[in-house]
Amino acid sequence: MSDAREAMLGRIRRALRRGPLDEAATAPLAARLKEHKRNLIPQRAVALDHRGQVALFAAMAEGVNATVARVSAADEVPGAVADYLSRLNLPARLVMAPDPALEAIPWSARPLLEIRKGRAEDGDAAGVTACFAAVAETGTLMLHSGPESPTRNNFLPDTHIVVLRSQQVVASYEDGFDQLRRKFARQEGGAALPRTVNFITGPSRTADIEQKIELGAHGPRRLHIVLIDDDDGQA
Amino acid sequence: MIPTSHAFKENVRHALGDANLQKAMTNLRAGFVERRALMISRLPEWEDLRDQAVAIKKHTLANLDFYLETFEQNVLANGGKVHWCRDAAEANAAVLAICRELGAKTVTKGKSMIGEEMAVNDHLEANGIVPVETDLGEYIIQIRHEGPSHIIAPAIHLVKEQVADSFRATHTTLDPRRPLDDARQMCDEARAVLRQKFLEADVGITGANFLIAETGSSIIVTNEGNGDLTQTLPRAHIVLASLEKVVPTLEDAATILRLLARSATGQEFSAYTTISTGPRRAADPDGPGQYHVVLLDNGRSALLGTEFEDMLRCIRCAACLNHCPVYEAVGGKSYGWVYPGPMGSVLTPSLLGIEEAGNLPNASTFCGRCESVCPMKIPLPNMMRHWREREFARHLSPASSRWGVAAWAFLATRPRLYHAAADAAAFVLGFFGKARGRFRTLPLAAGWTDTRDMPAPQGKSFHRLWAARDRS
């Protein structure tokens, strides 16, 4: 349908009362893209030190019905996960994303936790994933797809447990974009971004029936964040 | 959907007498208006963010050809495809061709206003493919065979009893005696029914809140997670987007995202904001094998460079609907097509023509709330005024109102005559209305007196009182 393409571009140019942009005109536009300058970022998170940002992240996440459990080291994660499931009377069964960050956790310390590693399927009631970053400004988790992190694991299970290290907390979405760009720019000839980047702010919800908010519309009913406090105290 | 915008007055009569609708519309205020105000009060940078967002969109529209071409290049570089479509027919043909090539039988859909505009469901169904809406509100109106009444809460015109009736009529394999008294039960039922559809679907169709030129990505914003299951599980992801959705960079999208959820649902950020870039990568364990962007014009390029260009900044947050006294009173379906409320009153005449939709820009009190809450500062009342002027110039408005305006204009441009007429009217109406203080009926004014009394003038005209005040 290249006819349509030329026709649409032609209409746009006629409406703008000009022809195709020449190089002198496109150079600053291309530079703007390359520079991808930040616009105004609210002070809410950027004005805080990193400890403050971690605290803000937790408070904002709890404000949108996520739950946060703080632990001081990775080897406390299995216990925190087991306790969370048992407190809600949920079966001690998990599907775990095949992520090295999760594999490093000593799950065998809790032998009653039944863990299947891989892609979530229908019927997996609870799943655990790692994440890429967390945005303090709105209590938002940032995850992306890849061999170690299937996207469906973020959506199919009723209960989504996310293991987050406090060092992963950033102030703004823009900080997250920069980290993504750094990670994916390294891949030779690859795309600028992974197939999917999920910003997740609380569990799934809907208000489509009489504006009454119900959690767990299609995605997880519960979002539980296990926060490993690995901050070394630097600002 | 077949537009009934020309029958606006008839639609309104029906809506005002619809007890369910009137009850349902009372949810608007607590659901949207109050939560929005609270969220904005927590963000001191709100006004500056609005100004920056407007500047981003203006810059993009002035260079729209460049950003669309760049977007396409980057989609191609990531292994996706862009389908340029002048109108809904071309877009429907593109979607069908993709589905046919994959041998698709069922398609899941995230909520898309472009999909509504294209009536893509009708087109797929007519060609033997089953489309399933997965946003709860869209699913409800799909099984009821009706159109949306709100651009982000499509079933806001319904009360829960109507939803329960529709679920019972549709989910016939479930126990007919099951309780369906509250929203929780209905959400759970829809979740279970639609989960199977997600798993079975061959193709997933979503809309787009943004297209990112820099990366060739599309972004959707949802709360239910349906848009994510829709695009992750099937073999292909089709994005329906109109051409003004493009912005230059992720940073530009972030600025507008800070306005979107707060304006729309009164949330700091929606539950799910998802950036999709191309098809799944070779080593990815899931994700769609194909990524298509259906890029639709459908009359938008004709708005560029006109007095309606500002409308192309619209991010479909629905704040203007939620704050409109007319929308609140008559509901979205009165507007007769896909886009209701103030933004619809401007956009629908642009897309369907003033002959079909000339009533809509007249359905406004010009109170100005829509413009004041619009995160993108779109001068909606002004643009409705432009439509009224065009309608008047093309002799499309009714003869009675044309005569009325002509008579008023004659008087208003002749101050002496105007004052004499005003004095006479104040005297005559004051004399006859003295006893009661008000009129139940007046000749030529049934439109007023049918629904309320007209107060009788007391004493002199405003101009006379003002002049007397100045003298003293």
Kindly report, residue by residue over A50-76, the tens digit of the pLDDT: 999 999 999 999 999 999 999 999 999
Residue A219 belongs to what domain range? 43-228
Indicate whether A31 and A47 sit together in one domain: no
The answer as to whether A233 is a domain residue is no
pLDDT band at A231 (very low <50, low <70, confident <90, very high): confident
- B48 to chain A: closest CA residue: A40
A-interface mutation test, from B218, B284, B306, most A Cβ less than 10 A away: B284
pLDDT at residue B268, rounded to an integer: 97
B-interface mutation test, from A206, A213, A221, A223, most B Cβ less than 10 A away: A206
CATH code at A81?
Answer: 3.40.50.10420
Contact B228 A155 (CB under 8 A): yes
Query: Measured between alpha carbons, how far is B23 from A42 in angstroms, rounded to an integer?
Result: 39
pLDDT at residue B394, rounded to an integer: 84
Least CB–CB distance from A39: residue in B155, B255, B275: B255
A140 neighbourhood in chain B, CB within 8 Å: 269, 273
Indicate whether A47 and A97 sit together in one domain: yes
Contact A145 B287 (CB under 8 A): yes
Coarse DSSP helix, strand, coil percentages of chain A, rounded to the nearest 5 percent: 35, 20, 40
Residue numbers of chain B with a pLDDT score lower than 50 = none
Angle between helices B399-412 and B415-432 (to 10 degrees): 110
pLDDT mean across residues, chain A: 94
Whether A136 contacts A164, CB under 8 Å:
no
- For residues A206-225, give the mean pLDDT: 96
pLDDT(A196) > 70: yes
Least CB–CB distance from B251: residue in A7, A39, A205: A39
pLDDT at residue B310, rounded to an integer: 98
What domain count does chain A have? 2
ipTM over 0.95: yes
Least CB–CB distance from A209: residue in B62, B160, B198: B160
Chain centre distance of CA B117: 11
Q: What percent of chain A has pLDDT above 70?
A: 95
Please state whether B292 falls in left (phi above 0), alpha (psi between -120 and 50) or beta.
Answer: beta
Indicate whether A30 and A99 sit together in one domain: no
The CA distance from A218 to the nearest CA of chain B, in Å, is 5
Q: Which of B269, B275, B313, B276 is nearest to B291 (CA)?
A: B276
pLDDT at residue A189, rounded to an integer: 52
Indicate whether A170 and A105 sit together in one domain: yes
Chain centre distance of CA B275: 23
Least CB–CB distance from B305: residue in A15, A43, A63: A15
A174 neighbourhood in chain B, CB within 8 Å: 250-251, 254
Residue B104 CB burial class (10 angstroms; 0-12, 13-18, ≥19): buried
The answer as to whether A234 is a domain residue is no
The CA distance from A58 to the nearest CA of chain B, in Å, is 14
Whether B37 contacts B288, CB under 8 Å:
no
pLDDT(A234) > 80: no
A-interface mutation test, from B47, B90, B200, B258, most A Cβ less than 10 A away: B258
Q: What would the pLDDT profile of B173-188 be if each residue is shown by its tens digit? A: 999 999 999 999 999 9
Per DSSP, the three-state class of A96 is strand
pLDDT(A188) > 70: no
pLDDT at residue A235, rounded to an integer: 42
Q: Which two tokens stand for residue B309?
A: 């260009």
Q: Which of A185, A179, A189 is nearest to B77 (CA)?
A: A189
Half-sphere exposure of B325 (CA within 13 A, CB side): 6
The CA distance from B2 to the nearest CA of chain A, in Å, is 24
Q: Which two tokens stand for residue B267?
A: 């949330």
Give start and end residues of each alpha helix (H) in B171-291.
183-200, 226-232, 250-264
**Which residues are within 8 A (CB) of A113 and not within 5 positions of it... i.e. 6 or more apart?**
A78, A81, A82, A85, A92, A93, A94, A107
Query: Measured between alpha carbons, how far is B164 from B154 in angstroms, rounded to an integer?
Result: 16
Between chain A and chain B, the number of residue pairs with CB atoms below 8 A apart is 279
Query: Measured between alpha carbons, how far is A152 from A154 in angstroms, rounded to an integer?
Result: 5
pLDDT at residue A191, rounded to an integer: 62
pLDDT at residue B454, rounded to an integer: 87
- A145 to chain B: closest CA residue: B284
pLDDT at residue B436, rounded to an integer: 84
pLDDT(A202) > 80: yes
Indicate whether A29 and A90 sit together in one domain: no
Indicate whether A26 and A117 sit together in one domain: no
